[in-house]
Amino acid sequence: MSRNARVRIKGLYGLPKMRTPVTPLVIDAVAAFFKRHNGRALALTGAGVSVPSGIPDYRGTNGTYRVHGSYRPILHHELVTQHESRQRYWARSFFGIRPAFKAEPNEIHYSFAKLEAMGYLAGLITQNVDGLHTRAGSRHVLELHGTLKSVRCLGCGHEESRDTFQHRLEELNPGWVEFSNALAHSSEKPVRRPDGDIDLPSNLRYEDFVYPTCERCHAGHFMPTVVFFGGNVDDAVRTRSHEMVEAADALFVCGTSLSTFSAYRLVRQAREKGKDVLIANFGETRGDGDASAKLEAPAEELLPPVVESLEHGSSDSSLLVP
């Protein structure tokens, strides 16, 4: 079996069969969940939280895997070992990273920040690499799959900001800078993919793209400080994620199908410890069978009125009790 065949990339789960109406009763029930756990609830979020900010996802209703079935992301071992794969990745990211960095937090991110500020949320673990939870004001955030904001040398471990690295790419590829400027003023926009990726026009060739080596060790190649498909969560991050679940009384899962095992195992840990697990996701998730309750509703419709309900102090604490 090839190494590629051992990496399960897609992990698509079912689209929603029904929609949970976001009624006053449902809003009060979710508010009661947070009140009942008295500041010891932990949030676990995924790509669905950032879709309203214009960041594409992989597995949602209009996700890249569903709409573009032939799309295949670069795998961890390809980026680490293959020059051609690094050219492909950095060429696509050269165009895609700026739009990704321009994304702004949406009302879901701000709702989580308010829940923490009001004392209803102990912390938040996110699978997203966009940094929008922190920008919205959440303070206790663990980025399970890393961040796009920096890059790391595979040789010596030296890190630098993605913005600095972008300037180095621009210096090495002046022709691509010219094309990027022309593209910015064109009515035809490339198709954006998740995680700062973008479809390149057919007249551009990956093999023409130049990427730099490390300025410290003068030999190592860089990769973003994110977990690619087929890669592993950093040991310290994995340990911290389990500690956060252990310390919490409940887990609120939002905007994720839990397809990646690094996230799903946290849900499984919570249920094995007898903790209350509430899932709010518009579509089937890997953890539906582990949930105390499941709401088939988009987070942007659910979270803001829940926060408003908590601000006004009204909820029925008998609802959504496992």
| pLDDT tens, position by position, 17-39 | 678 899 999 999 999 999 999 99
Sign of CA dihedral 85, 174, 103, 200: negative
Nearest-CA neighbor of 66 among 57, 54, 53? Answer: 57
Determine how many CB atoms are found less than 10 A away from the CB of residue 250: 21
pLDDT of residue 178: 84
- In this prediction, residues 102-114 reach a mean pLDDT of 96
Proportion of the chain above pLDDT 70, given as a percent: 81
pLDDT, tens only, 66-95: 344 555 677 899 989 999 999 988 988 888
Whether the predicted pLDDT of 65 surpasses 50:
no
In this structure, are residues 275 and 251 in contact, taking their beta carbons and an 8 Å threshold? yes
Whether the predicted pLDDT of 10 surpasses 90:
no
pLDDT, tens only, 232-265: 999 999 999 999 999 999 999 999 999 899 999 9
pLDDT of residue 70: 52
Share the mean pLDDT of the chain.
85
User: Would you state the structure tokens that stand for residue 181, as one six-digit string?
Assistant: 């400027």
Confidence of residue 202 (pLDDT cuts 50, 70, 90): low
Work out the angle between the directed axes of helices 174-184 and 83-102 (0-180°, nearest 10).
40
Whether the predicted pLDDT of 40 surpasses 80:
yes
Residues marked active site are found at 145
> What is the 8-class DSSP label of residue 38?
T
Q: Strand runs (DSSP E) across the chain, as ranges?
A: 41-45, 121-126, 141-143, 146-153, 159-161, 222-226, 250-254, 276-280, 293-295
Whether the predicted pLDDT of 193 surpasses 90:
no
pLDDT of residue 181: 79
pTM for the complete prediction? 0.85
Of 173-177, 218-222, 305-309, least confident by mean pLDDT is 173-177
